[in-house]
Each structure stands twice: as C-alpha cells, then as structure tokens.
Amino acid sequence: PRPILDMSYSRHFLDFQGSSIPSSMKKLVVTKLSQNFREAVTLQQDAPVPLPGDGDLLIRNRFVGINASDINYSAGRYDASVKPPFDIGFEGVGEVVALGLSASADYTVGQAVAYVKAGSFAEYTVVPARQAVPLPSVKPEFLTLMVSGATAYLSLKELGDLSEGKKVLVTAAAGGTGQFAVQLAKKAKCHVIGTCSSDEKGGFLKSIGCDRTINYKTENVESVLKKDYPEGVDVVYESVGGKMFNLALNALAIKGSLIVIGFITGYQNPTGIQPIKAEFLPAKLLKKSASVRGFFLNHYLSDYKVALEHLLKMYERGDLVCEVDFGDMSPEGKFTGLESVFRAVDYMYMGKNIGKIVVELPHSVNSKL
C-alpha cells in the first residue's frame, strides 16, 4: 500500500469552511462511445472519492474547462484501446484538499493548482504532483491558459515563424484558443485578421487588437480576403476545417504556412471530419512553396511548463486578456455544476461562446460542527 499523508486529525485536512472530504462524489463517465456527448456520457452520482498515492494531490475542482475535443474523447478517437467506462474532462482548477507524503514536499493543503489530465469532469480528481501547476489563487482565467493558451502559444512559436508585418489569419478567432492566437500574433507585431460569427464577437476581437474582423455570417470571407489581401496571408491559425480550410489554403501567400490545430466542423460527424478539396493540395502547395502543418499539444509536452509559466506571467502583468464564458447568455443561464457540462458542450457547438467556456463547480459544505 502506498503511504498517504493522513491529515484526518489535523484541522488542515478540513477545507476552509470546516467541512470534511466526503466518501462519494459526482463525476462524468463515458459509458458508450459516441461523438454525441449526451449519448456517450453519464453523470454518476455516487462515485468513490479517489485517494491520493504517495506522489499525488487530491484536488477539489472549482472550475473545469470545456474543449471542442471533449467529443473526440467521448467517441474514442484518441486511443482505440480504451473501452468504456472511462473518465472525461481534460483540465481543472481547484484546491489541494489531501496529498501523499512525497507530494507534501512541494504542496500544502489549501493550495490553488491547475492541471491538465483526463478526468477533470468530477468533484475531486487525483493528479500527480509533478503534473500540477501551482497558482496564486483559484481563478477561472488561469484555466483558459492550460490547454487553449498553451496550444496557441506553442503552435505559433514552433510553426508560425511570426515576425513584424506578417499577415496572420485566425479562424474562430473569438473562441477559446483563437483569442490567444490573435493576441500573441499582435505581440509579434503582425497584422491580424480574425473570422467570427457575430458583430458582438467582432467587437471583442477589436478590443484585443484584431486589425480586421470578418463576420462570416454577413460577409463573404473569400471575397474579403481576395479584395483586401490580394498578395495573400502569411500564416493561418486554423481550427474550423471543411470549407474554411479550403478558403484558408487558397488565401495563402507565397511561402505561407497553414497551421491546423483542429477541425471543429467535423467533430460531430460519425467520421470526425468534414471533407476538404484535397486533390489539388500538392499543386497548390507547390505553386506557392507553401506548407500545411498539424499541431497537437500532447506532442509538445516537453515545452509545456515553460510556455505556461510565460503565459501566466503575461496574464499577471496585464499583457494578456483571458476571456471566460460561463454561459451567462445561454438560454438556461450560467454553467454551474457537473450536470451543466452537457449544456456547455452544446453551447460550444452552436458557436455561441466568446472566449473559453468554463463550468463552475460550487462546493457544498457538510459541516461537522
């Protein structure tokens, strides 16, 4: 048996309101493989609260992040060997409420932490201490940086080759990762074009420095790009796929590069992708000495910690806007509690969010007094 730091007789094992850790909790579990999140996922009411091992932290989740790829995970697209039931949710922010003996060398009960690990859609999650990120406080803004901010930062740094004056097109620019791609490209003194689906999103994009916004519901993206950028764009940060991928590819300048970080329009299909006009791809790339590169965060984990530290410093200095969308404008209101994760995923696929969608998990106090 692995040693657990037994703090049950210490007041530190009690959380701030003087309540103890329960023996059971709610969590979301994938019980059937499907890209339809509501069909695939079940809310389990009485799962046992996991115990931290020697090098682990038990974190009480306060905020969890919604990602477009949650439905890729529930469809079993990332690891064909994993069979249901399995836990879901990629990232969380909360407090350490118990920890193993080795982990206590670097962490204490009550400490604010963030993490990226499967299984965050739960009231409590065990996270290896070496995978956790200590935070100054429990704030949802920090959660926006864990997957979305790091994806934008590392993909542009490794593949974007940004420099002053380059023209950068960001698709789904007002979304969770798009907001960071816009800001980071501006910091590199690039000219930034962002596509979005409403004037409200366009207003948000202008507020974070976007030079030209294109509302694809009211403007023809292809025509705007041809008219305003006849020489093409140097870098595309692309997360939409399908028709938008084709448009972006055609809009590339000589030696331009298109970075694929996702293709959200296809995720809800049984195959997970929307067809693109790929038969002309070799000719198009050759004609422009252009490139198409894919970026998947898991392949860059060796650079992750440094990237995240940089982003956290930028946010704390006030150099980075981390827009959070709690769904206040959604029909049934704010996303609160694990049961609202289903609504939050729907909201994302309706394209309603501005910034990163975050669900708050309120803590119910069971006082022993």
pLDDT in tens, 278-303: 899 999 999 999 999 999 999 999 99
Distant-in-sequence, close-in-space partners of 128: CB < 8 Å, separation ≥ 6: 55, 56, 57, 117
Claim: this prediction has a pTM higher than 0.85: yes
Instruction: pLDDT band for 206, please (50, 70, 90 cuts).
Output: very high
328 pLDDT above the threshold of 50: yes
Is 232:253 a contact under the CB 8 Å cutoff? yes
Measured distance CA(268)–CA(196) in Å, rounded? 20
Q: What percent of the chain has pLDDT over 90?
A: 87
Residues in the chain: 369
Q: Which residues of 110-126 are buried (b: 16+ CB within 10 A; e: fewer)?
A: ebbbbbbbbbbbbbbbb
Structural domains present in the chain: 24-138+323-360 (3.90.180.10), 146-299 (3.40.50.720)
Q: Out of 17-26, 114-123, 212-221, 235-244, pick the least confident.
A: 17-26
What's the token pair of residue 37? 């999140």
DSSP string of 55-74, one letter each residue: TEEEEEEEEEE--TTHHHHH
Output the pLDDT for position 4.
54
Mean pLDDT, range 62-81, rounded to an integer: 96
Output the pLDDT for position 236.
98
244 pLDDT above the threshold of 80: yes
Output the pLDDT for position 3.
54
Mean pLDDT, range 230-238, rounded to an integer: 98
Name which residue leads in pLDDT, 365 or 156: 156
Is 123:61 a contact under the CB 8 Å cutoff? yes
Average pLDDT, rounded, for the chain: 93
Is 181:262 a contact under the CB 8 Å cutoff? no
Residue 60 identity (one-letter amino acid) = R
Instruction: pLDDT band for 23, please (50, 70, 90 cuts).
Output: confident
15 pLDDT above the threshold of 80: no
Output the pLDDT for position 22.
85
Name which residue leads in pLDDT, 63 or 365: 63
Instruction: pLDDT band for 369, please (50, 70, 90 cuts).
Output: very low
Instruction: pLDDT band for 55, please (50, 70, 90 cuts).
Output: very high
Q: What percent of the chain has pLDDT over 70?
A: 93
